[in-house]
Amino acid sequence: MDPEYAAAVAPLLNAPHPTTPPSVEQVRAHFAHSLIEPNKSFHEGRLPPASAYSVEDRTVKVDGGEIIVRCITPLVNDEGQTFPVFVNIHGGGWCVGSIEIDDYHLRRISVDLQISVVNVEYRLAPEHPFPTAVNDCYAALKWTVENAPSLKVDLSKGFLVGGHSAGGNLSAVLAHETKKDPFFAGRQITGQLLREPVVVHFDAYPESLKGELRASVENKDNPPLTAAVMLGLFHMYQGPPADPRLSPLLYPSHEGLPPAYVQVMGLDPLRDDGIVYEKTLKAAGVKTRIDLYPGVGHGFYYNFPSIKLAELVRQDVVKGLKWLLGRSTE
């Protein structure tokens, strides 16, 4: 373990296990208290000046209702200036989380990279089971295309999608699904940011890859995300394990996908998801970059945002976005 991470995570390792599984309401409350609130507090002091960007929550109609997307746009002197766009999909195992978790960090990214951001508040399972999250995010992606002018977006400058954990899963699915949709012809996704993505259900590991997908056993008890918690999230999401919209590793072809930047944590039960997916994309001719952070667990930078490796992960997200935008000098 990374020494700083070991000290920070010790209370979680020593905490007593609950005798009964917590309710989804309890899990959401814990997620808000232990991840969202610390992150907003940490990033509040790093916010760019309010005069440098605008924030607006917009409504997107979806099948059976509507969702919110939070739109962050740089403010510049040239009213006619346009920007690339990054569609962010939050993590939380499809069952918890909200646009608040990445909100302040995305404001910083928007200003620093001069990129418009659309942050998607998709509906959560178990109230809205699979494939609701996929459909909601797909609708948000189409909405982004249709509303590009009001977002000051020029898709030809960059059309990125990405997220953490379940957000990475949904981003990978969208990259596949949009590839074959005539709606996106001539305005395809140009890059995907996959931070510790879930790419295959534990029960759907291909025989040929079981030797490489070992982390769900090797790291099964590592907080903050254990294999047992992941199984519970799979259960609440209710997606068929072998459906590629849940397990994008299982799409029959990965050719023609946009470039992908992948982040992987060494002590994560999902470590090998990211490693295997990056190898699979590369083998299909997709441009990829991957960063592995040894000695830390899944999403640790949300729980412990002030440790050094957390800062490195955030810096690498910016570098990864620059690479996807074609701005990297490395």
Residues in the chain, total: 330
Phi, psi torsion values for 219, nearest 5 degrees:
-110, 25
CA distances from 249 to 52, 137, 232 (A): 39, 19, 20
CB 291 within 8 A of CB 278: no
Torsion sign across C-alpha atoms 98, 56, 106, 174: positive
Closest Cα partner for 151 from 177, 189, 119?
119
Closest Cα partner for 327 from 165, 318, 118?
318
Check residue 111 and give left, alpha or beta (phi > 0: left; psi -120 to 50: alpha). Answer: alpha
* CA 38 centroid distance within chain: 18
Cα separation, 159 vs 178, whole angstroms: 12
Catalytic residue among 90, 128, 254, 298: 298
- Residue pointed to by tokens 């740089």: 74
Give catalytic status of residue 298 as yes or no.
Answer: yes
End-to-end CA separation in angstroms for the chain? 29
Catalytic residue among 2, 103, 136, 268: 268
Cα separation, 164 vs 278, whole angstroms: 15
Tokens in use for 81? 């200036």
Tokens in use for 11? 């209370």
Closest Cα partner for 222 from 159, 158, 299?
299
Tokens in use for 103? 């909100």
Catalytic residue among 116, 165, 171, 247: 165
Tokens in use for 281? 């994309």
Give catalytic status of residue 165 as yes or no.
Answer: yes
Give the residue numbers marked as catalytic: 165, 268, 298
